[in-house]
Chain A
C-alpha cells in the first residue's frame, strides 16, 4: 500500500466503520486474508455491478477514466473489463510500481471486509 502506508508502519482497523455506513470507492479497508489475525490492507476501487478495466495502468470504471491521485508509480497494467458481482467489491493496493503478477488484488465478498483503517 505504498506510498500511502509504508512497510513496517502501524495502522488500526476500525471495525465499527461499516456498521452505519456503506463502503465507498477509494475507502482503505482491512480484508480478512486468513484465520482471525492475517489481514490485507487494500483500497476499494470498484463497487457491486460496476465494470472495471485497466488500460496501460489507468483505471476505467464503466468505460470512464478514473483519477487515482494516491498512486505515485504506475506500471502499464492491462486488465480486460470485468463486472463486479453483487455483494462484492474490487480491491487493489496503491503500490502500482510492481507488475500485476506480483500484486494481490481482485474482487472480494463484502463479508471479508473487517473494517476501515485509522489513520
Chain B
C-alpha cells in the first residue's frame, strides 16, 4: 500500500513538473503558436483587438528583429515599433487571414540560442477569392532575460529563376 501511494505521488510530481516547468523547446513552440494567433485576423476584428494582438506579437520578438525576404529585397533589422506597424498594416490589408506554423524542428546550437525550421501556412480571403500559401521559414530565437524571443525571420528561397 505504501509503495502504491509512493508511486502515485511520484507520478503526480512528474506530471506537475512537466506542466509547471516546461522545457525550452516547449516554451519556444508555445511562443510560435502564440505568434501565429496574434498575427491572424478575423474579418470582424476591432481596431482595439488588432492593436492588442499586434502589441503582444511585438513582445515575442527581440528589438531589433532581423527580417529577410529575398524576393522582396528585404534584408535588415526592424525596430519593434516598425515591426508592429508592419504587422498592423498587414492585418488591415488582409483582414481575414489565418496564420499557422507546421513541421517545426528546433535545434539549440548554444544554450541561449535556438534555430527553428518551420512551415508558415497562410489561409485567407482577398475580395471573394480564397487563397492558401505556404512558406519555409528559418527563425532564430534568443534567450534574453529568461524569455525566449524571436530575433530573426528568414524566408527560405529554394527556387531561383
Enumerate chain A interface residues (CB-CB to B < 8 A): 31, 33-38, 79, 82, 91, 104-109, 112
Q: Which residues of B contact A35 (CB under 8 A)?
A: 102-103, 118-119, 134, 136
Nearest opposing residue in chain B for A36, CB measure: B103
A58–B28 alpha-carbon span in the complex (Å):
49
- Whether a CB of chain A sits under 8 angstroms from the CB of B1 is no
Enumerate chain B interface residues (CB-CB to A < 8 A): 102-103, 118-119, 134-136, 156, 158-161
Main secondary structure of the interface of A (DSSP, over half): strand
Main secondary structure of the interface of B (DSSP, over half): strand
A72–B153 alpha-carbon span in the complex (Å):
40
B103, B119, B156, B160: residue with the most chain A Cβ atoms closer than 10 Å:
B160
Q: Are A38 and B134 in contact (CB under 8 A)?
A: yes
Do A106 and B135 form a contact, CB below 8 Å, given A35-B103, A35-B118?
no
Nearest opposing residue in chain B for A42, CB measure: B159
Q: Which residues of B contact A33 (CB under 8 A)?
A: 134, 136, 158
A104–B156 alpha-carbon span in the complex (Å):
14
Q: A104 touches which one: B102, B119, B136, B159 (CB < 8 A)?
A: B159
Q: Are A34 and B119 in contact (CB under 8 A)?
A: yes
Q: Are B159 and A105 in contact (CB under 8 A)?
A: yes
Chosen A-B contacts, 20 in total, with CB atoms closer than 8 Å, are: A31-B159, A34-B134, A34-B156, A35-B102, A35-B103, A35-B118, A35-B119, A35-B134, A37-B102, A79-B161, A91-B159, A104-B159, A105-B159, A105-B161, A106-B159, A106-B160, A106-B161, A107-B159, A107-B160, A107-B161
